[in-house]
Amino acid sequence: MTGRFRVGKRELLPYVAQGDLDGLIACPKRVPKRWRRLVAPNVTDGQNRRRRLDLPDRVHIGQVVGHLFLFTRVAIDDPGNYTVGVAFEDDHRNVYRLLRLNGEHPSAHVNRLGEQPNFAPYERHIHIATEHYVKARDATHDGLAIAPSDYDDYHSALDQLSLLANLEVDGMLWA
């Protein structure tokens, strides 16, 4: 790992390798039995309702320590415009999104570094944090978007998140 760097005014984690990012996404994450209710968006923020659910376990990325959390967002006027995901927050309150599943939001998504095709407005897609985007410094760390596998609404996006992020309820895998 090297030192911190900024993208615009937002400070990101120190550089992390792809294996560390993949490990954070794949590691089992303990969630409460009622996690779906606890992460249901209920805080109004302009045109959206949002919610965050902090997970109990401490996580280490090299010497950086923090915790993971789940987050959701649903547009008040368009329930098909949503985001569900998992992120890491270090002890200095820097937030690093690892995985987010987007519904049909009105803006296009451009994969700035050209690894994958772009997505038109109202096309669902999954953002994944990658070492390539972290190194780019001028791109969003989870700027890579890929085609979704198995979700078509908010509730099925939560199902897919539980599989992709390895959520574990009461010691049992959520599968």
CA distances from 24 to 72, 98, 121, 166 (A): 19, 8, 29, 10
Cβ neighbors of 49 (< 8 A, separation 6 or more) are 41, 42, 43, 73, 74, 76
Is the pTM above the cut of 0.95? no
Cα separation, 167 vs 158, in Å, equals 10
Which pLDDT value is given to residue 137?
57
Are 61 and 138 a contacting pair, CB within 8 Å? no
The residues pairing with 146 across neighbouring beta strands, listed in sequence order, are 126
Question: Which two tokens mark 162?
Answer: 């539980």
Are 26 and 68 a contacting pair, CB within 8 Å? no
Per-residue pLDDT of the chain (175 residues; tens, 9 = 90+): 233 333 333 444 556 778 888 888 999 999 999 999 999 999 998 999 999 999 988 988 767 789 999 999 999 999 999 999 999 888 888 788 899 999 998 887 777 777 677 888 888 888 888 877 777 755 566 677 778 778 999 999 999 999 999 999 865 554 4
Q: Which residue has the tokens 């409460």?
A: 32
Which pLDDT value is given to residue 1?
29
Cα separation, 40 vs 147, in Å, equals 24
Which pLDDT value is given to residue 2?
32
Cα separation, 83 vs 50, in Å, equals 9
Which pLDDT value is given to residue 14?
57
